[in-house]
Amino acid sequence: MRTEAFDAVDIIRTKRDRGTLTPEQIDWTIDAYTRGVIADEQMSALNMAILLNGMDRTEISRWTAAMIASGERMDFSSLRTPTGEVKATADKHSTGGVGDKITLPLAPLVAVFGVAVPQLSGRGLGHTGGTLDKLESIPGWQANLSNEHLLNQLQDLGAVICAAGSGLAPADKKLYALRDVTGTVEAIPLIASSIMSKKIAEGTGALVLDVKVGSGAFMKDEAMARELAETMVALGTDAGVKTVALMTDMSTPLGLTAGNAIEVEESVEVLAGGGPADVVELTVKLAEEMLAAAGVHDADPAAALADGRAMDVWKKMISAQGGDPEASLPVARESEVISAEADGVLTQLDALQVGHAAWRLGAGRARKEDPVQAGAGVRLHAKPGDVVRRGQPLMTLLTDTPERFERARQALDGAAVIAPEGSRSSRQLVIDRIAE
């Protein structure tokens, strides 16, 4: 029988009493919990102590490293440029929002400039949409790829968006499930280590974080979002990954769509040189940050959207994963229009309420095993700052199951605020940039 190096109760007491865990204690804790030596109720107590008392930078960095060590690390050193040098890699992570389809145009856009983008993405839960759910609305497209396929596609096309394998930071999956049912999801050291353990294990050389702030974001408080961004940048830096974070507004949905197929449709509009101004702005800004972090400073991402180069990569990327980029996307069978109740200026359109409506229409899921409707969602016809007239369509609700309309309308009660003409609605999309 194996003799354990530490005792779980002693570890809990240390953090309960605001002490600092040693590197050896942290390594043992993650390993012992993964092996089942530390019971769920003990890890729950430790998580709560961390939520209440925090961790310093050294502790969080070691905790993250221990989570990475629980599984495999991907290696992209086999990727080569035409001259035989190791190809630079860059990735982006968003903390999630409503209408956040940025990954779709962003990955092929960055690949235009010779930087490989291994974008391992997830599915939606609750009011935030999942990148894989959106892409699966494209006929034939496959999310699950072998490591060989992933590497070959990165070498040939420079971009891949796919599901992460179960081998990356398996300790995180177990810890996240526990945090979800014990009221400790909000612990910033645990959020940061959860995100960064997977991103660092992914093996990318540079990482840009899009930390959302506002009603539709996980972090609704700017001070907490800033702390999370700073913590994640420090973790990436300590792990040798060039890491930058942008804090971006999520009080209003991004773009004019919240759903799956309709967000793909909007992403294709952006790749064709059009699309909503805020989606284009954030796509270009994140591309510039990813390219700079990867050492490419003379690129013009806006030009690559306008002239079709990014679209060319998109079509090849979708085809390489079994999808048909020219196929018609699913369309919801039923629709219902919500109109403006007065003349004036739309000064507010609450992201969380729009997200909940899209979820209730069938675009999202309450449990990870729930199905989603590809065509469901909310299509917006106005954004804050627009002048509207009474009776003018504000948004269209889309679903295959019309009995969902009532609850979606309830979710949107009070979401749109219309003020007298002359009122102003200001929105700063990029709030701040955080780097070390």
Instruction: Output DSSP code: residue 212.
Output: E
Which of 15, 92, 123, 179 is the catalytic position?
A: 179
Segments of 127-205 assigned E as strands: 159-163
Percent of the chain with pLDDT over 90: 82
Catalytic, 370? Answer no
Q: Which residues contact 406 (CB under 8 A, 6 or more apart)?
A: none
Catalytic, 127? Answer no
User: Band of the pLDDT at 185, cuts 50, 70, 90?
Assistant: confident
Q: What is the pLDDT at residue 272? A: 96
User: Band of the pLDDT at 424, cuts 50, 70, 90?
Assistant: confident
Q: What is the pLDDT at residue 127? A: 65
Tell me: pLDDT of 400 over 90. yes
Tell me: pLDDT of 39 over 80. yes
For residue 289, report the phi and psi dihedrals to the nearest 5 degrees: -65, -45
Read off the pLDDT of each residue in 273-277 and give the average, rounded to a whole number. 96
Q: Which residues contact 413 (CB under 8 A, 6 or more apart)?
A: 353
Which of 15, 92, 93, 285 is the catalytic position?
A: 93
Q: Which residue has the tokens 């609305």?
A: 137
Read off the pLDDT of each residue in 170-191 and give the average, rounded to a whole number. 88
Q: What is the pLDDT at residue 1? A: 63
Question: What pLDDT, in 10s, does the model give residues 100-112?
Answer: 999 999 999 999 9
Q: Which residues contact 222 (CB under 8 A, 6 or more apart)?
A: 213, 247, 431
Tell me: pLDDT of 263 over 70. yes
User: Band of the pLDDT at 351, cuts 50, 70, 90?
Assistant: very high
Closest CA to 202 of 155, 162, 153: 162
Q: What is the pLDDT at residue 364? A: 82
Q: What is the pLDDT at residue 302? A: 97
Q: What is the pLDDT at residue 237? A: 95
Catalytic, 172? Answer yes
Catalytic, 93? Answer yes
For residue 109, report the phi and psi dihedrals to the nearest 5 degrees: -65, -45
Closest CA to 177 of 165, 168, 190: 190
Read off the pLDDT of each residue in 90-109 and give the average, rounded to a whole number. 95
Which of 61, 194, 197, 267 is the catalytic position?
A: 194
Q: What is the sign of the dihedral through the CA atoms of 165, 267, 334 and 253?
A: positive
Read off the pLDDT of each residue in 410-414 and give the average, rounded to a whole number. 96
Q: Which residue has the tokens 């700052």?
A: 385
User: Band of the pLDDT at 189, cuts 50, 70, 90?
Assistant: very high
- Partnered with residue 387 across adjacent β-strands are 345
User: Band of the pLDDT at 427, cuts 50, 70, 90?
Assistant: confident
Q: What is the pLDDT at residue 126? A: 61
Instruction: Assess contact for 226 and 209: CB atoms under 8 A.
Output: no
Average pLDDT, the chain: 93
Tell me: pLDDT of 423 over 80. no
Q: What is the pLDDT at residue 398? A: 98
Domains with residue ranges and CATH for the chain: 8-69 (1.20.970.10), 90-320 (3.40.1030.10), 334-419 (3.90.1170.30)
Q: What is the pLDDT at residue 251? A: 95
Which of 91, 100, 133, 172 is the catalytic position?
A: 172
More confident residue, 177 or 66: 66
More confident residue, 336 or 186: 336
Instruction: Assess contact for 70 and 175: CB atoms under 8 A.
Output: no
Which of 92, 174, 198, 199 is the catalytic position?
A: 198
Q: What is the pLDDT at residue 177? A: 84
Tell me: pLDDT of 368 over 70. no
Q: Are strands 159-163 and 117-121 parallel, antiparallel or unpaired?
A: parallel
Residue at 86: amino acid letter: V
Question: What pLDDT, in 10s, does the model give residues 328-347?
Answer: 999 999 999 999 999 999 99
Read off the pLDDT of each residue in 267-285 and give the average, rounded to a whole number. 97
User: Band of the pLDDT at 200, cuts 50, 70, 90?
Assistant: very high
Q: How many CB atoms lie within 10 A of CB 240?
A: 9
Question: What pLDDT, in 10s, does the model give residues 109-168?
Answer: 999 999 999 998 877 666 677 899 999 999 999 999 998 999 999 999 999 999 987 788
User: Band of the pLDDT at 279, cuts 50, 70, 90?
Assistant: very high
For residue 158, report the phi and psi dihedrals to the nearest 5 degrees: 90, -5
